[in-house]
Structure 1
Amino acid sequence: MSAAEATRNKATLRRFHDAHSSGDMEVISKTIDEVVRPDVLIRTPVPIESTGAQALKEVFTALHHAFPDLHVSVEDLIAEGDKVVSRNIVTGTHQGEYMGLPPTGRSVAYSEMFVVRFVDGRVAETWAVVDVFSLMRQLGAIPA
């Protein structure tokens, strides 16, 4: 991969995260349609039946229902080969049901890391590690 492709892929992943932070499901859906391949392979277990880009849309819809002010702060973007790694801090306020938990009104902050593989400038495959344990502890579902 050339330096120009690495720069483009990093900008694409940042755009993806920025759309997610917008909280506007129309913007999120449109951005997914533009930067994610419809048949994207999501290598992280998600609690939905859908696959591909549709699965991402459903995951983000559920997250924004639970955390309407959700914000992704990109701390690092590292590109090598056809992959970009993103280390993020996610913040939000629990205002809707999340994984069976009723809204608590609590503010949360948790870490996540994504490895994203690109094909022809679009997201083709993702792996994510999300600190769900910390999130659930902050929501009171797991004792401190």
Structure 2
Amino acid sequence: MSTDQIARNKAAFSRLHDAQSSGDLEVFRKAVDEVVEPDVLIRTPLPIEATGAEALKQVGAMLLRAFPDLHIEVEDVIAEGDKVVFRNTVTGTHQGEYMGVPPTGRSITYREIMIVRFTDGRIAETWGIVDVLAQMKQLGLIPA
């Protein structure tokens, strides 16, 4: 894979981060449509029934409803071949229902690592490790 294609893959996934951090669900949904294969394979357990790109849209909507000020800070980017890895810090204020938890007004910070595989410039497969334990502790659902 050429260095140009690797750079385009990194830019495409960064676009999703930027769209999610924009706080605008329509901007995020449009970015998903433009850079993600409709039948993307998501290898991370999600709290929804949908699959493919629709699952990403639903998770994005859930996060933006719960944390309207959601921000994803990219800490590291590693790319080789058809894969790009991002290590992120996510912050937000719990202002809406999240996985059955009513708004607490608490600020949260958690980390995640995302691996994405590209085919023809579009995201075709994803893996994610999200620190859900940190989320639950900060929302007061698990003792700190």
Tell me, yes or no, whether TM beats 0.5: yes
CA deviations on 1:115-139 (whole Å, 9 max, x unpaired) are 0000000000000000000111011
SS in 1 for 2:102: coil
The within-5 A match list for 1:91-130 is 91-130=91-130
Q: 1:99: Cα distance to partner?
A: 1.3
Taking only the aligned residue pairs, the percentage that are identical comes to 68
TM-score (norm 2): 0.98
CA distance in structure 1 between the partners assigned to 2:34 and 2:44 by the alignment: 21
Q: 1:57: Cα distance to partner?
A: 0.4
- Letter matched to residue 71 of structure 1: H
CA deviations on 1:3-22 (whole Å, 9 max, x unpaired) are 11111111111111000101
Q: 1:101: Cα distance to partner?
A: 1.0
SS in 2 for 1:26: helix
- Letter matched to residue 36 of structure 2: V
Report the counterpart of residue 8 of structure 2 in structure 1. Answer: 8
Gapped regions of structure 2 (runs ≥ 5): none
SS in 2 for 1:34: helix
SS in 1 for 2:128: strand
- Letter matched to residue 57 of structure 1: K
CA distance in structure 1 between the partners assigned to 2:51 and 2:135 by the alignment: 25
Report the counterpart of residue 73 of structure 1 in structure 2. Answer: 73
Runs of 4+ in 1 over 3 A off after TM superposition: none
Q: 1:28: Cα distance to partner?
A: 0.4
CA distance in structure 1 between the partners assigned to 2:83 and 2:24 by the alignment: 27
CA distance in structure 2 between the partners assigned to 1:27 and 1:98 by the alignment: 21
TM-score (norm 1): 0.98
CA RMSD across the alignment = 0.6
CA deviations on 1:27-78 (whole Å, 9 max, x unpaired) are 0010000000000000001111111000100001011111011011111111
- Letter matched to residue 73 of structure 2: S
SS in 2 for 1:142: coil
Q: 1:2: Cα distance to partner?
A: 1.1
Gapped regions of structure 1 (runs ≥ 5): none
